[in-house]
Amino acid sequence: MKHTALYTAIAASLSLAGIAHADMNLVQNDKGNLDMYVVLDAAVVNQNHSLSISPSMPNQIYPYQPTAQGVGSVTGLLGGGLSDSRVGFKGAMNMDNGAKAIFNLESGFDVTSGQLNNAAAAVASNPNIKGSKYPTNLSSVNADSSLNGQLFGRAAWFGLQDPTYGKITAGLQNNPMKDVFASYDPVKSDTFSPFGESGTVGGGGGVSEDARMENSLEYSNAIAGVTYSLAYQFGNNTSSNGVVGGSGVGDGVALRVGYETDMFGVQASYNDFKDALKAVAGTSLGQIGLAELNTEAWLLAGKFTGVQDLTIEGGWERFTNSAPSDAVNISSIWGIGVSGVTAAFAPGVSQTTNIYFFGGDYNVMPKLNIALGYYDTMNDNKSGTTNTNGSIKTTSAILDYRLYKQADVYAVVSTNQFSGPGFTGTNSTQTAYGVGARVKF
């Protein structure tokens, strides 16, 4: 009985990540199970100021990203209005005393074109030839991400799970901070919520690429209802002084601890990464540049579920980006050439960002849900400078109707207001609307 209760607590901890889907059972016997799952999502959207829709991007429009003044509107069909389309496999093999060997492989793609999520390719197709912070010569939406053309870019891990000793996994897996956002974001959308659009604020602790941790080990368990996770990344496949992973390049640690009941939940998370890499525009077509930096982040989130059909969520995130510890030597990454690696911050210089968020969702009817969220992103001045600060105030809403058990249709809107000297030369307001459908297999 003790084992069963603890096993349930561990499973609840792990369910922070991802969306619900209907697993298709491929194999089921006394030895274990093998399941397949699929999520397909497409929407017709309009954004008043946007570059062209990019089929390579996990989120193919980006209302949270500022655009240069003069950039017009765009309307089109895109994949992933609420959820990035994906196909995955997961399984468990029964062992002694309730222990299991487990794994998860998950691939993200654009359902409208069949392309794998590949943000680095989108960046490579938009070189910053003019050298401007907000260039006007770009052709399509592009940004850095942890999804850069990998076959199983969303997840590729295996491990052991024991009802007493917890769970340990190895491979490419979510940063525990990203798992918190997956459950505590008031508006759960990969395209219309800042936390879904941007891994920088939505789980990467300052850099999108760290929202998923490669070359990582993670341990999770529960004690007296308190769940916790500890993850460590053994480098990011780059090199220092010609040695791959040398000098701890790309090493990072991520922690999470939380407690949830039927009435409320609270989660806290911490990140600390050394020599993180951020894809930026390269100097020639087909290449990317890399910005290198150190990051440290904190997150505190809570939710109230004590009223039937109502969930209220909110929290605070703070991260500080600073000069890297080592000089990275790399000529290609994710199969794309690198035109150069630069330090994002000079020695002694740093910048802190705070994000406050609040909102929730309500079941208006058994099949109709409305979600509303407000997000206030505040970038401080870089240390020792002025006129580098700015803010983004985001309001997003979803009206979601469940047609069938595993299929829903939705209408979404997100408005982002940019202000402050850090956003000089950009459009002050960007608004995106969309209607779409999602099916989960």
Q: In whole angstroms, what is the distance from residue 357 CA to residue 336 CA?
A: 36
Alpha helices, DSSP H only, in 47-87? none
CA–CA dist 222, 400 (Å, integer) = 33
pLDDT at position 97 is: 87
Predicted local confidence at residue 128, as pLDDT: 74
| SS3 state of residue 122 | helix
Taking the C-alpha atoms of residue 109 and residue 42, their distance in angstroms, rounded to an integer, is: 11
125 φ/ψ sector (left φ>0, alpha ψ -120 to 50, else beta): alpha
Give the total residue count for the chain.
441
Query: At CA 129, angle to CA 65 and CA 416, rounded to 5?
Result: 10
| Residue position matching structure tokens 């052709």 | 139
**What b/e string do you get for 374-388 counting C-beta neighbours within 10 Å, with b at 16 or more?**
bbebbbebbeeeeee
Q: What is the mean pLDDT of each run of 10 residues along the chain (441 residues)?
A: 45 54 80 95 96 90 90 93 96 93 97 95 82 59 94 97 96 97 96 95 95 96 95 77 54 97 96 95 91 97 96 98 91 92 95 98 97 98 93 98 95 97 94 97 93
Residue 281 main-chain phi, psi, to 5 deg: -60, 135
Using CA atoms, how far apart are residues 404 and 272, in angstroms rounded to an integer? 43
pLDDT of 236 reads 76
**Which residues, 6+ apart, have CB-to-CB distance to 79 below 8 Å?**
41, 42, 55, 60, 85, 109, 110, 111, 112, 113
Q: What is the pLDDT of residue 69?
A: 86
Q: Does domain 2-440 have CATH number 2.40.160.10?
A: yes
CA distance 355 to 352: 10
Contact 90, 37 (CB under 8 A): yes
* Phi, psi of 421, rounded to the nearest 5 degrees: -60, -25
Please check whether residue 191 is in contact with residue 61, taking contact to mean a CB–CB distance below 8 angstroms. Answer: yes
d(CA 153, CA 108): 7
247 burial type by CB count under 10 A (0-12 exposed, 13-18 middle, 19+ buried): middle
> What is d(CA 296, CA 330) in angstroms, rounded to the nearest whole number?
23
**Domains in the chain: boundaries:** 2-440
